[in-house]
Each structure stands twice: as C-alpha cells, then as structure tokens.
Structure 1
Amino acid sequence: MKKYSLLTIIAISTIFSTARSQAIPLALFNGENLRGWHADVPAMDTNTTVKSPFIVRNGMLVSLGEPRGHLITDSVYQNYRLRVEYRFPGKPGNCGVLVFASTPRALYQMFPKSIEVQMEHNNAGDFWCIQEDITVPDMEKRRGPKTEWGVSEGKKRRILNLTDSSEKPLGQWNTMVIECKGNTIKVWVNNDLVNDGYNCTAAKGQIALQAEGSEVEFRKIEMTPLK
C-alpha cells in the first residue's frame, strides 16, 4: 500500500473540506424553459387570447414588457446572493427584480408584496417598498419627508440608490447582485455598491421579475446560498 506523508493527508483533507463548504450557485433559469417559475399576469385572467409576456428566446429569458405582470419563482428563498445579468436590447425602459415576494397583487392589484430592486435605465438599484418596508442611511434625503413614507398606494415608496453612472451604455450587459441575508438587502450594479438596506419587514420570500412596459433580456439568473 502506498504511504502518504502526514502533510499530504492534511492537504488532501483541507481540499475536500473546502470543496464541501463552498456553496454552489443554483441556476434559476436553465436557458431552455421557464421550469421553476410561474407567471402572474392580470390581463390573462379574463382574456384567453392574451399571451404571457415571459418567453425564452435564443437561450435567454425575455420579458416583453406587455401585458404587464410578474414571473415568480415557485420556491421561497432566504439568505442568498442573487446574480442577474440583463440588458435593454432596444430602447431604455423599466423593469425590476422583486425579493421577499409573497402575497400576489398586493399593490394596485398588480404587484406582489415585496421589496423591488429597480432596474429602470439610469435608476438601477433603487428600492421600491411594496407592502414591505426597509431602512437605509439618510432616509429623508433619499426617500423624502418622513410624514409621506409608506408602503401602499399614494405613499413615498421609492428609496434612491447611492450612485450615478453604474450602468453600462444601453444595449450592453449589466450585472446586478442582490444579497439578502436575514432582514438586510445589499445591491451591486457592475461591482458598484448601489444600495444597502436593513430592518426589512421580511426575511424570506419568492423572487420575481417584472413585465413593466419594456423588453428586457436576461442571460443569467443564479442564486448562491449564504450561511
């Protein structure tokens, strides 16, 4: 039997231990179909001719923008880092990634209860509070007068991001990373920290993508569990 030195055995054990402890990213979009997701599009409730705005095209998940609604994961997640690679292929527009999503159509009979991480061109990284709330530093500067804050219709639900010019030029791919740990949410756009919130009123939920009037392409949506 071949003998190994003690240092060799320790080294091999360390490698295997490290490999086991490293979280493996989970692809939430498989590049072929929308398995693991379901669409919630109000216009489809009463009109059977209306088609879902969420399709797979050339290996990408595409939100066509209309009719408006959400593509929602079947599963509930907590404590994770979400990586989304996206672009507006044509004209600048609006979309968002919703985390901690739960009750459907909780706002304007459209938006699920959640915290939205904005993807709108030139505003990527803003928070929008949708029947859930979150705190950030300099709240009054970034959200407006405290007396007008709220999480429902007519209230100041938008919390501005921290940076300008973190997005790439229109048509190029952006990388958004959303880290949800406990009741905190941190957001990076192309490696810039663009928002950092805490004391969120939720700590787990589904993940959702929007159809909000603009075509958006997603080439990667993956989640890495956090300890």
Structure 2
Amino acid sequence: MILRLVSISIWVFSLAVLKAEETLVFRDLFNGKDLSGWVDVNTSPQNWTVKDGLLVCSGKPIGVMRSEKQYENFILEIEWRHMQAGGNSGVFVWSEGQPPAKGPLPKGMEVQMLELEWPKLNPEADGQPRHPGFVSGELFGANGLTATPDHPRGERSMSTEMRCKGKGEWNTYVVVCVDGVIKLSINGKFVNGMREASVRKGYLCLESEGSEIHFRKIRLMELPGGNATSEQTAPVVEK
C-alpha cells in the first residue's frame, strides 16, 4: 500500500513538472518564413517582408503590426538592427490592437529602439542634439498608458547605461513583464524598468516609423497569469 502511494505521488509530481515545463518554455513568434501569428494593423503588405530568415520592415508608412493574441505576464526576447543612421522603431507591450483615430500608433508601453545618431539628426529647436536618454531602450507609456519610471526623465524612464549598438549591428532586448512591472535587459544587462502600469494585458506590436529595421529571433515565454482587471486589459480586436 505504501509503495503504491509513493508511486502515485511520484506520478502526480511528474505530471506537475511536465505541465510546468510545457508552460514555461520559449515559443517562437517569428518562424523565419512568413508572417504567421501577426496582423498588419495600419501599414501596407509591402512594409513587412521576410528575407533570408529575417523580418524586414521598410519603415513606411508609419504604423504597427500586432500579435494575433494578447499577453499578460511574459518574457520577450527580440533581436533587432537598424539599417539607417537615426532610425526609429520600437516594440509595444500591453498594447491596444488598434491605434486611436488621430494617430498611427496605439496605446501601450513602448520599448524604444532608436539608432544612436537619432539625437543629432533630430535636434532641438535651437539646433542642439536631443537628450541622449532617448536612445538605448527608453521606456514610456504611449497614448494614455501611465506608469511610474524607475529612472525618471519626466514621465519616461531612461536606461542607466547606453548599451545599444549602432547601424547595422544586432541588439538583443529581453523584456520581462509581470503584473504591471516591466524590466528591460539590453545586450546582456538589465538597465531600465517601469512599474504600476495602468494596462497589464494586451497585444505586442512592432513599430514601423520611417526607416528600415530588421528583426530576428522573436520568442516569448508566457508566465502564469496575474490579477489584471478588465480595466487593465486592452480591448480584444474582433477578427
């Protein structure tokens, strides 16, 4: 009897471990062949293409491509490189699936992807370069999403180190999102974060904003769900 109970306990434990392993694994969001799993929201069919296993965004027109499903708690790993000096792009998390009527970009938490020359090529009115905090993974709530910055630059949060690489070089972001808290690792080190986000479940969006950018190795590990309320969840886009 005791041996039977032990055997049953081991079997139940093994099933629990197997279930955990099945859940907590990275899954590719880009298969290197086509745009399966993604929806072009407001750009054009020519804007997003696959070439030599890379996801290529021309940058024109400005807009986004979103994931088919929403995510709440997760770890996102994404590799990207700009092909033009001063290039502008980003990835939105906890995003709405449609932009507002007056703009091309949605409400969501933006993880900025700017090429290093952007502050010089987009100067202030007096001709001086913009603040260097714009580049290297600045985080901010876009179009109404609010959050508290870990390293404030106004309402935005700037990285503690400038770790992004320039034109033509690959960068790796690891984005950890749990219960309204976001942490960003750039090329192997966590350097930025925000907390108390007003939206905690939504779509992922890749941003097209004027210049060519390449993506590869887009993968995501879904974590157990949290306590996002209906008010903290982006509206579902009906197919």
TM-score w.r.t. structure 2 length? 0.74
Paired residue for 1:132, among 145, 157, 162? 145
- Structure 1 residue 117 displacement after superposition: 0.5
Equivalent of 2:172 in 166, 170, 175: 175
Count of matched residue positions in the alignment of Structure 1 and Structure 2: 196
CA offset at residue 20 of structure 1?
4.1
Alignment partner, residue 40 of structure 1:
41
Q: Which amino acid aligns with 1:136?
A: P
Q: Percent identity?
A: 30
**Aligned residue in 2 for 1:27:** 28
Residue 162 of structure 2 is aligned with which of 153, 158, 165? 165
Task: Check the 8 A contact 2:151/2:158 in 1, yes or no.
Answer: no
Change (3 A) 1:13 1:212: same
CA drift of 1:54 comes to: 1.0
Relative to structure 1, the CA distance from residue 201 to residue 165 in structure 2 (aligned partners, 3 Å threshold; closer, same or farther) is: same
* 1:71-104 deviation line (CA, Å, top 9, x unaligned): 1111111110000011113434110000111151
Question: Given the superposition, is the C-alpha separation of residues 68 and 169 from structure 1 closer, same or farther in structure 2, using an over 3 Å criterion?
Answer: closer
For residues 15-164 of structure 1, what are the structure 2 equivalents within 5 Å?
18=17, 20-22=19-21, 23-41=24-42, 51-102=45-96, 104-106=98-100, 108-122=102-116, 123-130=135-142, 131-137=144-150, 139=152, 142-143=153-154, 159-164=156-161
- Give me the whole-angstrom Cα distance separating, in 1, the residues matched to 2:63 and 2:218: 19
In structure 1, the gaps of 5 or more residues are: 1-5, 45-50, 144-157
Q: Which TM-score applies when normalising by structure 1? A: 0.77
Report the Cα distance in structure 2 between the residues aligned to 1:164 and 1:30, rounded to whole angstroms.
Answer: 32
Structure 2: 5+ residue stretches without partners? 1-5, 117-134, 225-239
Q: Could you say what secondary structure the match of 2:198 adopts?
A: coil
In 2, the alpha carbon distance for the partners of 1:191 and 1:107 equals 38
- RMSD value, Cα: 2.4
Alignment CA distance shift 1:203-1:160 (3 Å): closer
The whole-number CA distance in structure 1 between the counterparts of 2:87 and 2:157 is: 17
Q: Which residue of 1 aligns with 2:207?
A: 210
For the 8 Å contact 1:125–1:161, the answer to whether it is kept is yes
- Residue 224 of structure 1 is matched in structure 2 by 221
Q: Say yes or no: does 1:196 pair with 2:193.
A: yes
Going from structure 1 to structure 2, the CA distance change for 1:125 and 1:138 (only over 3 Å counts) comes to: closer
